[in-house]
């Protein structure tokens, strides 16, 4: 294969390949570039989607394969499977220069083995298992010809109305940056060129998560300081971790569509950050600059995008249609095109595609990787770690909490609700369906059956659908509940209710589901509610009236097994919320690291002239970082190694944590810092460190955090990142609501 591929190439190219893999890729790239016509160069910047999977509005576009044959397409998205990618690659091999195609796909949370949605994974606060999840996704995707995943999404999201919160790591910049790094490392493994590595893509650059009103694709407007402080660090972390590509975003920022932003793509990314990977537009986002009112027509859009640093045009056809004329008219310099093409070719060389364009399309490897039992095992482990226990109060009847259910072995359990037997929903948005899903995906019902070894003590009633107003199933649900000792109710969104273009203004449980829960509580039986969703939902009545509540997000292939592990105590829940849960949509945006106002709300005064709602509390339903365990963790007093430190120095903060419960368990110990007075207003607190520890019953451990200038620094008005001398308050605890801060001073040198 390698030989026949090379024979057709001109001598200069042959010579460049003879240098071997380790030779200087840039020189190889230049030697290919030297052979290319302008049309062939533009072809490398043109990305088309297959009609096989649609992840955007497909434009009917004649014979796409013929374009591949003519060298007019450089990359293809949504073409999956070893056989399909191989056959399209074979068509690319009929083009004059035989430049291989790049195959891209949104492999967001697993490919064949589906892992929890990214927001759920973030709830684990476990970087190594998150990295492993991405690693396994890469192994499975790479084996079927995919070279490039459009992940991780590293957008900070503070608005649960935005459907794409499911796809990121939540609201916090510090946690989000660490998770961005872990995911990039996972996807890219030992580096491009390994057969099990795929190119990662940090998206959506930038501030897509700040869409006004939480409405997808909407405008964003913010100070440069906020952009740098809150939204950009996860992108910088991805770049520092060696991410191969960036995708720009649909939104405009301060009036300039991100796709046309030279500041973001040229000044920051390719300039200050020295990023030498490639930048792909989002689907159609070059052409959409016309709708934004930022480009007069496709020609103007193409010119603005390429000038601003968008290297590849995904599905706008703007580059394919307009760039050649723009160059002829000298409105765009060919060196701009050359730079973009070099970035694309470099990745193709790094992936080893010039050596063997089919190296990733291997049906035998595809089959083996897809059915690896260790992938499922890892998916179950990841899913267990993603689950968040929101409430588990003692109930009178048994004078202890209902969970774990091992407390009540042998009792009859009624499984009620529209999601008990759900299969496909468990995968959530951004996942692929496979013909054997119905036997591969573990529903809650199957997970419970697997756990108990039979369905003897289980009964089931759906109660109602996920949506709609039909309550005719309530009577059967009531009957099943009355005949049981415990009622476990599984409610939530449908798996597709969160995701792209899935913004919601109403975050309550859809349909009659809350009513169903009320009916079950009214039976007087002990009730556990499981909530599956792709975002924080609003469920006040349940929060206040149901003693045990478990947030299960969408957990993927192993969902049912993982939930059963947690319900029965085979895994002690340790997840912590990566987003604040509001009491009402009216509180949004609500996030823990907000600024104070000149009139902060205080619980203990009658002063009404404070920042507050007249009809709603300020506090969230559940704060960022919150999550319970079957263990009970007690925090001692924070002890600082000194009461001041100088610029350039450090200070240690110690605290002892004790597991005073009867189960071994894990706790995420979180460090928050507040800059008390500064030249700019600072957040009330910010996450600056965390450690996930495991403690046996009765065990105590002293945890230490080292605080340096970096943890105290922030973006000044002129965007310099530096700490200011003054007072800092430290909080350590099991959530962002940790109390009892202690302070120290940073002294000027």
Contacting residue, 121, 131, 252, 500, with ligand NOJ by CB under 6 A: 500
Give which of 458, 456, 462 is closest to 477, Cα–Cα: 462
Subset of residues 515 to 534 that bind ligand NOJ, contact rule: CB under 6 A: none
**CB 415, CB 445: distance < 8 Å:** yes
Q: C-beta of 253: minimal distance to ligand NOJ in Å? A: 16
Of 106, 282, 313, 675, the active-site residue reads: 282
Tokens of 423: 């299969």
Count of residues in contact with ligand NOJ, rule CB under 6 A: 9
Task: Please say which residue, 148 or 635, places its beta carbon nearer to ligand NOJ.
Answer: 148
The mark string for 47-76 relative to ligand NOJ (x by CB under 6 A, - otherwise) is --------xx--------------------
Subset of residues 143 to 162 that bind ligand NOJ, contact rule: CB under 6 A: 150
Say whether residue 288 binds ligand NOJ (CB under 6 A). no
Q: C-beta of 436: minimal distance to ligand NOJ in Å? A: 24
The mark string for 165-204 relative to ligand NOJ (x by CB under 6 A, - otherwise) is --------------------------------------x-
Q: C-beta of 229: minimal distance to ligand NOJ in Å? A: 24
Say whether residue 626 binds ligand NOJ (CB under 6 A). no
The mark string for 445-484 relative to ligand NOJ (x by CB under 6 A, - otherwise) is ----------------------------------------
Sequence-ordered list of residues with C-beta below 8 angstroms from that of 536, at least 6 positions apart, any chain:
160, 165, 507, 577, 579, 580, 581, 582, 622
Instruction: Give percent helix, percent strand, percent coil of the chain, each to the nearest 5.
Output: 35, 20, 45
3-state secondary structure of 227: helix
Contacting residue, 82, 101, 106, 557, with ligand NOJ by CB under 6 A: 106
Known catalytic residue: 393? Answer: no
Task: Please say which residue, 106 or 519, places its beta carbon nearer to ligand NOJ.
Answer: 106
Say whether residue 282 binds ligand NOJ (CB under 6 A). yes
Q: How far apart are CA 81 and CA 463, in angstroms?
A: 39
Task: Please say which residue, 56 or 726, places its beta carbon nearer to ligand NOJ.
Answer: 56
Q: C-beta of 500: minimal distance to ligand NOJ in Å? A: 6
Total Cβ atoms within 10 A of residue 515: 16
What DSSP element (H or E) covers 245?
A: strand 245-248
3-state secondary structure of 476: helix
With vertex at residue 746, the alpha carbon angle to CA 745 and CA 749, rounded to the nearest 5 degrees, is 140
Residue sitting closest to ligand NOJ (CB): 55
Q: C-beta of 49: minimal distance to ligand NOJ in Å? A: 7
Tokens of 542: 């349940």
Task: Please say which residue, 77 or 269, places its beta carbon nearer to ligand NOJ.
Answer: 77
Q: How far apart are CA 323 and CA 463, in angstroms?
A: 58
HEC string of 175-218 equals HHHHHHHHHHHHHHCCCECECCCCECEEEEECCHHHCHHHCCCC
Q: C-beta of 360: minimal distance to ligand NOJ in Å? A: 19
Q: Does residue 404 have a cis bond before it (omega within 30 degrees)?
A: yes
Total Cβ atoms within 10 A of residue 672: 27
**CB 201, CB 247: distance < 8 Å:** yes
* Helix intervals (H) in 22-117: 25-33, 38-44, 64-69, 82-92
Please name every residue paired with 163 in a beta bridge, in sequence order, or none if there are none.
Answer: none
Q: C-beta of 65: minimal distance to ligand NOJ in Å? A: 20
Contacting residue, 205, 263, 283, 715, with ligand NOJ by CB under 6 A: 283
The mark string for 200-229 relative to ligand NOJ (x by CB under 6 A, - otherwise) is ---x--------------------------
Q: C-beta of 56: minimal distance to ligand NOJ in Å? A: 5
Task: Please say which residue, 50 or 670, places its beta carbon nearer to ligand NOJ.
Answer: 50
Q: How far apart are CA 43 and CA 653, in angstroms?
A: 56
Query: First CA to last CA across the chain, in angstroms?
Result: 64
**CB 295, CB 284: distance < 8 Å:** no
Task: Please say which residue, 36 or 134, places its beta carbon nearer to ligand NOJ.
Answer: 134
Q: C-beta of 435: minimal distance to ligand NOJ in Å? A: 22
Task: Please say which residue, 48 or 423, places its beta carbon nearer to ligand NOJ.
Answer: 48
Q: How far apart are CA 79 and CA 90, in angstroms?
A: 13
Task: Please say which residue, 179 or 402, places its beta carbon nearer to ligand NOJ.
Answer: 179
Phi and psi based region of residue 234 (left: phi greater than 0; alpha: psi -120 to 50; beta: remaining): alpha
Q: Which residues of the shown chain bind ligand NOJ in the complex (CB under 6 A)?
A: 55-56, 77, 106, 150, 203, 282-283, 500
Residues annotated as catalytic (active site), given as ranges: 282
């Amino acid at each position: 294969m390698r030989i026949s591929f090379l024979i057709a190439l001109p001598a200069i190219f042959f010579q460049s390949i003879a240098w071997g893999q380790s030779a200087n890729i840039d020189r190889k790239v230049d030697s290919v570039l030297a052979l290319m016509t302008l049309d062939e160069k533009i072809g490398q910047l043109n990305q088309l989607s297959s009609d096989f999977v649609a992840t955007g509005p497909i434009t009917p576009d004649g014979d796409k394969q013929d374009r591949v044959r003519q060298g007019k397409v450089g990359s293809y998205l949504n073409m999956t499977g070893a056989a399909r990618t191989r056959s399209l690659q074979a068509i690319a091999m009929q083009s004059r220069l035989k430049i291989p195609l790049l195959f891209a796909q949104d492999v967001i949370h697993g490919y064949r083995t589906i892992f929890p949605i990214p927001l759920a994974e973030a709830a684990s606060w476990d970087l190594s298992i998150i990295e492993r999840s991405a690693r396994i996704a890469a192994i499975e995707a790479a084996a079927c010809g995919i070279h490039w995943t459009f992940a991780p999404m590293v957008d900070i999201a503070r608005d649960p109305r935005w459907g794409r919160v499911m796809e990121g790591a939540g609201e916090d910049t510090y946690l989000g940056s660490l998770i961005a790094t872990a995911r990039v490392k996972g996807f890219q493994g030992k580096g491009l060129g390994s057969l099990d590595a795929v190119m990662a893509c940090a998206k959506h650059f930038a501030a897509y998560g700040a869409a006004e009103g939480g409405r997808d694709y909407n405008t964003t407007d913010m100070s440069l300081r906020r952009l740098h402080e809150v939204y950009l660090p996860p992108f910088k972390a991805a770049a520092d971790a060696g991410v191969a590509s960036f995708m720009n975003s649909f939104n405009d920022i301060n009036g300039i569509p991100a796709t046309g932003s030279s500041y973001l793509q040229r000044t920051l990314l390719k300039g200050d950050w020295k990023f030498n990977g490639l930048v792909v537009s989002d689907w159609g986002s070059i052409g959409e600059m016309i709708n934004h009112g930022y480009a007069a027509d496709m020609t103007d859009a193409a010119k603005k995008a390429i000038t601003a640093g968008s290297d590849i045009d995904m599905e706008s056809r703007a580059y394919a249609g307009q760039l050649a004329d723009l160059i002829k008219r000298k409105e765009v310099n060919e060196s701009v095109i050359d730079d973009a093409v070099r970035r694309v070719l470099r990745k193709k060389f790094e992936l080893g595609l010039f050596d063997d364009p089919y190296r990733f399309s291997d049906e035998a490897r595809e089959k083996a990787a897809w059915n690896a039992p260790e992938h499922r095992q890892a998916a179950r482990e990841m899913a267990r770690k993603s689950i968040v226990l929101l409430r588990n109060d003692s109930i009178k009847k048994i004078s202890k909490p209902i969970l774990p259910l091992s407390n009540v072995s042998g009792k009859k359990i009624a499984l009620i609700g529209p999601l008990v037997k759900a299969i496909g929903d468990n995968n959530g948005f951004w996942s692929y369906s496979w013909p054997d899903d119905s036997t591969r995906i573990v529903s809650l019902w199957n997970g419970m059956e697997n756990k108990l070894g039979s369905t003897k003590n289980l009964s089931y009633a759906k109660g109602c659908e996920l949506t709609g107003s039909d309550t005719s199933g309530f009577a059967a649900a009531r009957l099943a509940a009355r005949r049981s000792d415990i009622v476990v109710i599984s409610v939530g969104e449908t798996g597709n209710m969160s995701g792209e273009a899935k913004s919601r203004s109403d975050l309550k449980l859809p349909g009659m589901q809350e009513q169903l829960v009320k009916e079950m509580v009214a039976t007087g039986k002990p009730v556990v509610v499981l909530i599956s969703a792709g975002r924080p939902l609003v469920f006040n009545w349940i929060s206040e009236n149901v003693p045990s509540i478990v947030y299960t997000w969408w957990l993927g292939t192993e969902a049912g097994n993982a939930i059963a592990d947690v319900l029965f105590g085979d895994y002690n829940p340790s997840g912590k919320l990566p987003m604040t849960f509001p009491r009402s949509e009216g509180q949004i945006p609500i996030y823990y690291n907000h600024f104070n106002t000149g009139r902060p709300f205080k619980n203990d005064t009658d002063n009404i002239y404070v920042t507050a709602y007249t009809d709603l509390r300020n506090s969230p339903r559940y704060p960022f970082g919150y999550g319970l365990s079957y263990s009970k963790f007690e925090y001692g007093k924070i002890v600082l190694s000194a009461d001041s430190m100088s610029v350039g120095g450090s200070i240690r903060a110690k605290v002892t944590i004790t597991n005073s419960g009867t189960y071994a368990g894990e706790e995420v110990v979180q460090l928050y810092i507040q800059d008390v007075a500064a030249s700019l207003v600072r957040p009330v607190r910010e996450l600056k460190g965390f450690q996930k520890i495991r403690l046996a019953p009765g065990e105590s451990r002293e945890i230490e955090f080292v605080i340096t200038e970096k943890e105290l620094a922030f973006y000044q008005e002129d965007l310099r990142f530096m700490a200011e001398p003054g007072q800092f308050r430290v909080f350590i605890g099991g959530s962002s609501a940790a109390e009892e801060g202690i302070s120290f001073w940073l002294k000027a040198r």
